[in-house]
């Protein structure tokens, strides 16, 4: 069984290269970008501006292949792929929560952008605390990591 997807827009950001990019939106605070939504989907943007934060689902487009064991950016030990956010995955779909500043003429103006310029957008979902906030969270290997995600940068390892 195969599932076929088509981009609904293109994400623009200051990042042209994986190396040196922030590894998560929390490492890209204040980084501005925009999303061009293709004309045929723009009617679906109504009411979106009321949300301060949105999920972006996108295609990790430079990614090909994957390893089920990876050394994450903030770690020195190999971890199971699904316990990481590494971009090379069996289904290379990225997930980021960004701040939404404005919607104008089919363009979304966003902040905290951690994705590469030219990334194909697949879906937008509103972020809502009543759905998405969680209590009593344990964050596995990430809890033992002392390096600061706000300062961690991508390198060439998932190229």
Which residues here bind a copy of itself, judged by CB under 8 A? 1-8, 24-26, 41, 43-53, 55, 57, 59, 68-69, 79-85, 89-91, 93, 95, 97, 120, 122-134, 136-143, 149
User: 76 or 131: whose CB is closer to a copy of itself?
Assistant: 131
CA distance 95 to 60: 10
Two tokens, residue 46:
């109504």
The distance of closest approach from Cβ of residue 86 to a copy of itself in the complex, given in angstroms and rounded to an integer, is 10
CA distance 74 to 129: 27
Question: Half-sphere exposure of residue 73, counting CA atoms within 13 Å on the CB side?
Answer: 23
The distance of closest approach from Cβ of residue 4 to a copy of itself in the complex, given in angstroms and rounded to an integer, is 5
The distance of closest approach from Cβ of residue 121 to a copy of itself in the complex, given in angstroms and rounded to an integer, is 9
User: 32 or 93: whose CB is closer to a copy of itself?
Assistant: 93
Hey, what long-range contacts does 38-47 have (CB within 8 A, 24 or more apart)?
A: 38/7, 38/8, 38/9, 39/106, 41/8, 41/9, 42/106, 45/103, 45/106, 45/108, 45/124
The distance of closest approach from Cβ of residue 159 to a copy of itself in the complex, given in angstroms and rounded to an integer, is 19
Q: How far is CA 54 from the centre of its chain?
A: 11
User: 8 or 13: whose CB is closer to a copy of itself?
Assistant: 8
User: 17 or 69: whose CB is closer to a copy of itself?
Assistant: 69
């Amino acid at each position: 069984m195969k599932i076929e997807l088509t981009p609904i827009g293109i994400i623009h950001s200051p990042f042209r290269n994986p190396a040196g990019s922030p590894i998560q939106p929390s490492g890209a605070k204040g980084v501005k970008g925009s999303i061009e939504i293709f004309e045929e989907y723009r009617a679906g943007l109504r009411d979106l501006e009321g949300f301060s934060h949105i999920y972006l689902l996108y295609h990790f487009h430079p990614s090909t292949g994957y390893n089920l064991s990876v050394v994450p950016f903030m770690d020195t030990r190999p971890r199971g792929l699904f316990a990481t956010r590494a971009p090379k995955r069996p289904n290379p779909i990225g997930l980021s929560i960004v701040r939404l500043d404005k919607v104008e003429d089919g363009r979304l103006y966003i902040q905290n952008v951690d994705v590469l310029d030219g990334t194909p957008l697949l879906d937008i979902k509103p972020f809502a605390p009543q759905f998405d906030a969680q209590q009593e969270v344990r964050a596995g290997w990430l809890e033992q990591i002392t390096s600061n995600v706000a300062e961690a940068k991508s390198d060439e390892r998932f190229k």
